[in-house]
Chain A
Amino acid sequence: MDGARHMSGDRFQVITSSMHREYRNLVRGLTRIVWPEFMLHDPVANENWHELLERFADFQFALYDSEMGRVAGMGNSFPLRWEEPLENLPDDGWDWAFTEAVKNHKQGVMPNIHCAIQIIIHPDYRSQGLSAPIIQAVRAVTKAQGLRTLIIPIRPSEKSHYPLTGMDDYITWKTDDELPFDAWLRAHVRLGARIIKVCHQSKTIRGTRAEWEVWTKMKFPQSGSYIIPGALNPIEMDVEKNEGVYVEPNVWIVHEMNWL
């Protein structure tokens, strides 16, 4: 538990939903604050979110600010079974992982891998050096659960400034010191993660034209591609079908831990 020990006695403590009675109240609303509205309409997420606390309570954690008595960040994850090479992880990354973990658990399949689906910092706590501690916290969960491999369908958040660049190209962009250009990818790589590949259809979000207009405060008078604030790729609006589709690309990364 190097992550937890690193912060014990410190202002920020790692808590999990199974160990802290108030966890549910402490993290309430955080997801809603952090994401652009349309990101809250992935049906796979909405149908399965309750499963996190019901089935995988030890895998839901938060970074607790003991001085302020509030949560600075949170992470959601679960174990799943994966026997093939990591290079074969599915193209529908996030949606697949969530569905697969629930299925494995229902069938009593023994998990062998840890997968994180959300790691977020409250806006009030950004730019304060908390991304490393929260990544260390999720790595600590991997170890605490006796697993060696942590995979994440990561959302490279700065990609939203570059919606016309392919994700396969974007992940090759580097800083002057040869680290990934994207700050969130970089934070993981600095702590030992490796990029596996892009998962091009990690989340699929569909809505009517009226729904998209509410979610984005834009208008969609005609069919076509639209750039949406906060989206990593353009959405496709089909006015005749009254449907807008956003397919979010993420990036499979892995933290391998030789902790035995």
Chain B
Amino acid sequence: MNTDRFRIISPNDLEDYREQAGNLSDVCWPEFMLHDPIANVNWHELFDRFEAYQFAMLDTETDRMAAMGNSLPFYWDESLEELPELGWDWVFLKAVECHQNDITPNIQSAIQIAIHPDYQNQGLSMMMVKAMGAIGKSQGFQHLVAPVRPNQKSKYPLISIDDYITWKTEAGLPFDAWLRVHVRAGARIIKPCHEAMTIRGSRTEWESWAGMKFPQTGEYNIPGALNPMEMNIEKDEGIYVEPNVWMVHDI
């Protein structure tokens, strides 16, 4: 594909940036993933506090957003091996807290790279990872960390994330396509973060999110989820705990 047609843009470069970004989220993610309370309460902070870390890839032939990237800076002075189990939810809150307290950040974390389904399998993911690292580099950071969502794990919900990340292709690269993109871009796997996102909903909410029924308490496999969801009928609550994988790029 002709990569010249794509251009990295900032939120200010496109009048309907937020609207196109919202549409992109809707088509890229299974519905339940849009109900992480940490994400929903804090999403605006990305644009209010960390605008320089948000970007998109514009298809200049159609003026459509082909992909978007979201990241943020935070402060971390411990070893990367100590990054918390609460991966995604934690790093979002941490970055906001650092910013509120005027703590100078020293590291960048990815929050999302989403490629529109019409533009998948065309090499955009690698370009997006590199574009994100370029932002951290321009800020003088040495590391870009990422709580990566290995999305092919959704076909293997009964395999633990610890086992899954050891799976390799014949070339010795990670089995999972997203992990592989990061590794090809120079990243290494640090470790899983087993509770990267926690999504709770009533039975009715989960039924509408998943297009399924949950007549009894127990584990359910939800399309697009990386692990089974636990439904508790008496408490009228289903809980999905998403495992991700901490990775790091030296930039």
Which residues of B in the span 200-251 have a Cβ within 8 Å of any Cβ on A? 212-213, 215-216, 218-221, 228
B103 within 8 A of A: no
B159:A164 contact, CB within 8 angstroms: no
From known contacts A162-B220, A164-B219, A226-B158, infer whether A219 and B167 are also in contact, taking CB-CB under 8 Å: yes
B-side contacts of A226, CB under 8 Å: 156, 158-159
The verdict on A83 contacting chain B, using a C-beta distance below 8 Å, is: no
In the complex, number of A-B residue pairs with CB atoms less than 8 Å apart: 42
Question: Does any Cβ of A come within 8 Å of B178's Cβ?
Answer: no
Taking a contact as CB atoms closer than 8 A, the residue among A161, A219, A222 that contacts B163 in the complex is A222
Distance, CA A169 to CA B219, complexed state (A): 13
Q: Are A218 and B175 in contact (CB under 8 A)?
A: no
**Nearest Cβ on chain B to A227's Cβ, whole angstroms:** 6
Q: Which residues of A lie under 8 Å from residue B155 when comparing CB positions?
A: 218, 227
- What is the bound-complex CA distance between A234 and B228, given in angstroms? 13
Chain A residues within 8 Å of chain B by Cβ, number: 18
Size of the chain B interface, CB-CB below 8 angstroms:
17
The B interface, classified by DSSP as helix, strand, loop or mixed, is loop
Q: Does B157 contact A (CB under 8 A)?
A: yes
Question: Bound complex: CA of A227 vs CA of B212, how far in Å?
Answer: 17
In the complex, the answer to whether A165 meets B216 with C-beta atoms within 8 Å is yes
Q: Does residue A181 face the partner (Cβ distance < 8 Å to B)?
A: yes
Indicate if the CB atoms of B221 and A164 lie closer than 8 Å: yes
Q: Given contacts A162-B220, A165-B220, are A221 and B212 in contact (CB under 8 A)?
A: no
From A164, A181, A221, A234, contact of B215 by CB (8 A): A181
Cβ–Cβ contact A169 & B216, under 8 A: yes
Does A225 make an interface contact (CB < 8 A)?
Answer: yes
